[in-house]
Amino acid sequence: MKYLSVVLIALCISVVAFATGARANIAVIVNKSNPASDVSYNDLKHILEAKKQQWDNGEKIILVFKPITSNETQFLINNLYKIRSENFYQYWMLKSYNNEISEYPKVTENLGGVIALVSKIPGAVCFIGVGEVAQCGDNVKVIRVNGKMPGEDGYPLISKEK
């Protein structure tokens, strides 16, 4: 019965993810005390794959995600992880099983939760919609990717879909 429930939940997530279209322009936010101001796209990919688990200052990187059905998380799943949505949690379980991570990424239900976590955790990094940046306040900051801020030509975390 438990297995059937898990399968049904995964199916529902897939349907919702497909319906959202996974279109997003994403800003990368970190705790305001984080000295990072720019990250390369390759380093960001390594952070998301848990191949890089510390910031340059030695602080542990803590991944924070919006819900799996959010446009931002769907964008990351499709474009950086290149896996199916229903395999996202399995991806992290396998990382844990293989002792590649010491803790799972944190998933919040809304932007308020994202802001609270990133504000409290010095090594936190999260991916939010560019339109949500104004709601973040002073406790987080947006960092550049490949030297570009969201909205600048050549910024890499933008959906090609219209």
Q: What is the pLDDT, as a whole number, of residue 24?
A: 57
Please check whether residue 158 lies inside any domain of the structure: no
What's the pLDDT tens digit per position in 109-151?
A: 999 999 999 999 999 999 999 999 999 888 899 999 999 999 8
Please check whether residue 12 lies inside any domain of the structure: yes
The token pair at 78 is: 């499709």
Domain of 61, CATH number, reads 3.40.190.10
What is the extent of the structural domain holding 81?
Answer: 2-145
Domain count, the chain: 1
Please check whether residue 100 lies inside any domain of the structure: yes
List, in order, residues 6 or more apart from 49 with CB less than 8 Å away: 80, 81
Please check whether residue 118 lies inside any domain of the structure: yes
Answer whether 0.75 is exceeded by the pTM.
yes
DSSP string covering 137-161, please? Answer: TTSEEEEEETTB-TTSTT-SSB-S-
Please check whether residue 136 lies inside any domain of the structure: yes
Please check whether residue 154 lies inside any domain of the structure: no
